[in-house]
């Protein structure tokens, strides 16, 4: 999720229920993906070429996905080709989905129903989870079991491991009681969200790539790819659709598993991978240098390894693998026996229990094939031999859930074999297995069939495992809900139903277990607050249904009109992409249980005044005061830690008079009466600064914000200014910092270095150290963080070239956690930079929303994408970051839909998420339609709510 941080999939529904197409499709609603809750995921997966139009229909996010569509999506994502396809009587070759179904099932992905695939059936959640776990090779032998009630058929046994893995890895969430609702259908949008969570980065076009850090899984779906200098936190897949070209992985660290499922030639330089699995449809050549190391290699298909790469341990599941180097340790599966190492044949019998292969190259005077001559196995003593393997036995009806008893026959494609099977769950061997006599096996209760096939002079087949679930016909079917669990911005009207005729439904809304004494369902249920619904269905002479549990979160937010407020330029498309920063002309804070709003009027004129208004709990105005200034420029407002308030003013000095006051810092008491002030001119600045280059102030605060921090009796103001005319004839803009001694309101010496040009300034103290953050467009052209005026660290280097005053980036927030410096930005696609170093006009309107986390110890930067709007008709504002208690943070941004040609704003949506100090999401990303932030106002925490003012409106969001 890498999630990329995205909206979480609402798969947390109830217990087992059979699919019913007509019932479920009546709840499909608007299918426009614009402003859809899953739009980010849908757009991302569409960019991979996966959710493309097919069957003459458009992608329908709220419709349920069919089994054929699941096959099509997986085939497009992984590029599966058809091999040994199975015949299905309901899949005709003329159908649009035929190739996808054949390709996916030939890879043993997706369950089927004997000779039927049921392509037009709605795919259930457990079917999709099972298919994805197979396709993504998600396995874990040390799974902690979180799912309950499997004995009561909540999760089909054949899907149980897959569901456990998805819960454990956080791809889906179970409730505290572990219920998942596995047999309900899944929507197209929900499927897209799952793919999004499983697929962080997808490379489909040839070229050079470098990502620094990929938070989740990475896919390579084309040849002629050069990937460099990248750390992959999840797995990496070279998909089976890659049939030709060279793939070069240079200085790549894979913390998960590298799956080589396709490719022609793969070059590895400085690659580090704990696990590598090779399972490609045709032979692959893998070349690696001595800086490349595989800790554990599993080979399931034809491959040649070449070069000095280090292979610590190799598990061979395919005969004849060719190593031109020497693995340190080799193990063979029960179905394989030999490999080639440096042109020599090595068979299983030649290796000791530790699998050490190097010992066998110490012998001298042996024949060119020493291991064959020493083997006691007569098969291998022959000069020519065929190490074929018996094909795995298959049932005529695959395992699954059924409404009635089943009669299962077994067969294998290899002639003249003997099939052995067990029905007690034990692994089948020749010694303990029952010889299959060709008669159907009667299944009248939940049963696992395990079977193998054997033949003289051939390797025993892999073991078949199939689970058959025969439900109790006397149980009422589980009730269904018309609305899925999830987060909603308004009250919901909920319908319940069951397909058992004449059954009655009983429910509770307080989280307790329902009985026949609970509320009887007779009319739709109105959900206006966050509610947990539990329901059962009951019918006479039948067993009660399983219970469903649904949780509905209703966003608690307030929007109220505030009268007499000075107009505020709230966030919009123009300010979202403004190339330069502006001073914040509105501030809010809390004083004596009042919400205080500070507004600026007449800025830049002789009539500059500050309007201060206070509002009580009912948002009635109870305080009003106006402060006038004889200076004309407003800088900023600060609520001090010492009980005083500070306002920074400025004045133009175009005549370049060193004696003229250019900045004034005024101290006020709690009733906004002036206590003291500090007047600053350029002589003061020259006297206290250690540098003399371009530090004079001609115009203060230009193209800048003004940020203020306090530590005891020290006040620091970090901003920007336009300087005097320099020797090159230009007035240069740059950052400037003032350090003030509050004991006597004097200007302290400092050794500041500032960016030129400088925008979006932030300043904070942390453990006694001062940190200044700013956005530079030239020297340096980056987001730069400076500690105590000396240490300089670059959070992000900006594309384009020096001389381009626009940066294509805005900083919206800066916070410091126990472990990280956290910076919130929006930024353009720096892949769209013109040859002259400027940006495409179109790219200026498309901005993704990002969090940068710089580790306080290593200074390593992690990038987290909150909203990726690149290439869409949307953009995101720079995110606000609000510090909460216990090291948690609230991140907010406005998402805009706009017309690409007129740039007219069409709609806006507020997005917000709670994170910890390491950037980990502690909540879903939630949305509220037609609500926006203000460019000027930093939201605050008040009465367990996030509060802000935009325009003439007061907004709040509950933290509960």
Extract the tokens encoding 353.
Answer: 């229990």
Kindly state the percentage of the chain with pLDDT values over 70: 84
Instruction: Please enumerate in sequence order all residues whose Cβ is within 8 A of that of 671, keeping only pairs 6 or more positions apart, or say none.
Output: 625
The separation between CA 532 and the C-alpha centre of its own chain, rounded to angstroms, equals: 27
Whole-Å CA distances, 717 to 648, 656, 749, 873: 9, 22, 13, 38
Contact 774, 758 (CB under 8 A): yes
At 509 the pLDDT is 94
At 57 the pLDDT is 47
Give CA–CA dist 405/472, Å, rounded.
10
Best CA proximity match to 487, nearest among 787, 102, 925, 112 = 925
Whole-Å CA distances, 682 to 328, 632, 655, 787: 72, 18, 12, 25
Contact 875, 894 (CB under 8 A): no
Kindly report the backbone phi and psi dihedral angles of residue 23, in degrees, each rounded to the nearest multiple of 5, phi listed first.
-60, -45
Give CA–CA dist 485/173, Å, rounded.
11
Whole-Å CA distances, 690 to 455, 724, 737: 88, 18, 12
At 356 the pLDDT is 64
DSSP assigned state of 51: S
Which residues in the chain show pLDDT less than 50?
A: 1-31, 53-57, 140-153, 174-178, 359-387, 569, 574
DSSP assignment of 535-557: EEEE-TTSBPPPPEEEEEEEP-E
What is the separation, in whole angstroms, between the first and last Cα of the chain? 23
At 556 the pLDDT is 79
At 403 the pLDDT is 67
At 603 the pLDDT is 87
């Amino acid at each position: 999720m890498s999630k990329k941080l995205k909206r979480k999939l609402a798969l947390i529904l109830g217990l087992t229920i059979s699919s019913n197409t007509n019932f479920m499709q009546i709840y499909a609603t608007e299918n426009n993906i614009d402003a859809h809750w899953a739009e980010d995921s849908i757009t991302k997966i569409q960019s991979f070429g996966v959710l493309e139009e097919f069957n003459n229909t458009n992608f329908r996010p709220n419709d349920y996905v069919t089994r054929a569509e699941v096959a099509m999506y997986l085939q497009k994502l992984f590029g599966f080709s058809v091999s040994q396809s199975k015949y299905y009587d309901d899949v005709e070759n003329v159908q649009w989905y035929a190739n996808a179904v054949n390709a996916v099932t030939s890879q043993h992905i997706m369950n089927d129903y004997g000779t039927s695939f049921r392509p037009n059936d709605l795919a259930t959640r457990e079917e999709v989870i099972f298919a994805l776990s197979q396709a993504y090779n998600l396995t874990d032998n040390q799974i902690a079991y979180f799912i309950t009630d499997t004995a009561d058929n909540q999760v089909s046994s054949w899907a149980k491991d897959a569901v456990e893995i998805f819960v454990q890895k956080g791809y889906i969430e179970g409730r505290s009681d572990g219920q998942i609702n596995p047999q309900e259908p899944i929507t197209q949008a929900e499927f897209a969200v799952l793919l999004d969570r499983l697929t962080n980065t997808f490379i489909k076009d040839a070229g050079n790539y470098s990502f620094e850090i990929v938070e989740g899984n990475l896919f390579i779906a084309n040849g002629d790819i050069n990937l460099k200098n990248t750390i992959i936190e999840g797995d990496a897949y070279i998909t089976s659709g890659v049939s030709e070209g060279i793939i070069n992985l240079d200085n790549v660290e894979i913390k998960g598993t590298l799956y080589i499922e396709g490719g022609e030639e793969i070059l590895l330089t400085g690659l580090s991978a704990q696990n590598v699995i090779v399972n490609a449809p045709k032979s692959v050549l893998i070349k690696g240098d001595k800086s490349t190391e595989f800790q554990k290699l599993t080979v399931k298909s034809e491959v040649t390894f070449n070069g000095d790469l280090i292979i610590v341990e190799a598990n061979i599941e395919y005969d004849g693998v060719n190593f031109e180097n020497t693995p340190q340790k080799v193990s063979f599966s029960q179905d394989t026996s030999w490999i080639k190492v440096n042109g020599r044949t090595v068979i299983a019998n030649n290796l000791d229990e530790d699998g050490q292969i190097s010992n066998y190259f110490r012998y001298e005077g042996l024949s060119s094939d020493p291991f064959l001559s020493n083997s006691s196995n007569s098969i291998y003593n022959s000069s020519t031999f065929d190490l074929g393997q018996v094909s795995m036995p298959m049932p005529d009806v695959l395992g699954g859930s059924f409404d009635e008893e089943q009669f299962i026959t077994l067969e294998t494609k290899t002639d003249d074999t003997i099939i052995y099977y067990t029905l007690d769950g034990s692994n089948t061997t020749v010694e303990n297995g029952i010889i299959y006599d060709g008669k159907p096996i009667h299944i009248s209760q939940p049963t696992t069939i395990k079977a193998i096939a054997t033949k003289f002079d051939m390797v025993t087949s892999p073991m078949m495992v199939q689970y058959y679930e025969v439900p109790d016909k006397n149980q009422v079917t589980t009730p269904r809900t018309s609305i899925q669990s999830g987060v909603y911005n308004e009250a919901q009207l909920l319908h319940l139903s069951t397909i058992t005729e004449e059954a009655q439904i009983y429910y509770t809304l307080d989280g307790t277990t329902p009985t026949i004494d609970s509320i009887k369902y007779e009319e739709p249920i109105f959900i206006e607050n966050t509610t947990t619904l539990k329901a059962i269905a009951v019918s006479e002479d039948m067993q009660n249904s399983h219970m469903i549990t649904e949780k509905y979160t209703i966003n608690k937010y307030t929007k109220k009109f505030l009268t007499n407020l000075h107009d505020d330029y709230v966030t919009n498309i123009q300010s979202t992409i403004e190339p330069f920063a502006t001073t914040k002309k509105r501030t809010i804070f809390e004083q004596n249980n009042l919400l205080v709003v500070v507004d600026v009027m007449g800025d830049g004129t002789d009539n500059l005044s500050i309007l201060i208004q206070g509002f009580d709990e009912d948002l009635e105005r109870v305080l009003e005061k106006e402060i006038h200034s004889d200076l004309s420029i407003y800088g900023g407002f600060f609520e001090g830690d010492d009980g005083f308030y500070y306002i920074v003013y400025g004045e133009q000095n175009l005549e370049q008079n060193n004696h003229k006051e250019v900045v004034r810092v005024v101290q006020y008491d709690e009733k906004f009466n002036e206590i003291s002030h500090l007047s600053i001119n350029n002589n003061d600045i020259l006297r206290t600064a250690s540098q003399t280059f371009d530090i004079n102030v001609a115009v203060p605060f230009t193209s800048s914000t003004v940020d203020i921090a306090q530590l005891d009796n020290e006040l620091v103001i970090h901003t920007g200014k336009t300087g005097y005319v320099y020797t090159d004839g230009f007035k240069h803009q740059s950052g400037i910092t003032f350090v003030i001694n509050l004991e006597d309101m004097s200007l302290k010496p400092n050794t500041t270095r500032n960016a030129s040009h400088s925008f979006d300034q932030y300043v904070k103290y942390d453990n006694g150290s001062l940190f200044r953050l700013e956005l530079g467009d030239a020297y340096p052209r980056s987001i730069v963080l400076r500690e105590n005026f000396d240490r300089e660290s670059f959070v992000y280097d900006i594309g384009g070239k020096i001389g381009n005053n626009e940066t294509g980036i805005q900083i919206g927030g800066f916070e410091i956690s126990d472990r990280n410096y956290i910076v919130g930005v929006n930024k353009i696609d720096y892949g769209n930079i013109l040859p002259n170093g400027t940006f495409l006009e179109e790219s200026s309107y498309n901005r993704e929303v990002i969090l940068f986390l710089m580790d306080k110890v290593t200074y390593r930067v992690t990038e987290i994408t909150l909203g990726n709007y690149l290439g869409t008709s949307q953009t995101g504002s720079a995110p606000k970051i609000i510090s909460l208690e216990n090291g948690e943070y609230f991140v907010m941004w406005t998402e805009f839909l706009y017309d690409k040609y007129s740039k007219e704003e069409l709609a806006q949506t507020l997005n917000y998420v709670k994170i910890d100090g390491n950037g980990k999401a502690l909540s879903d990303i939630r949305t509220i339609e037609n609500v926006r932030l203000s460019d000027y106002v930093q939201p605050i925490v008040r009465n367990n709510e996030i509060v802000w003012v935009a325009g003439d409106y007061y907004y709040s969001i509950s933290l509960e």
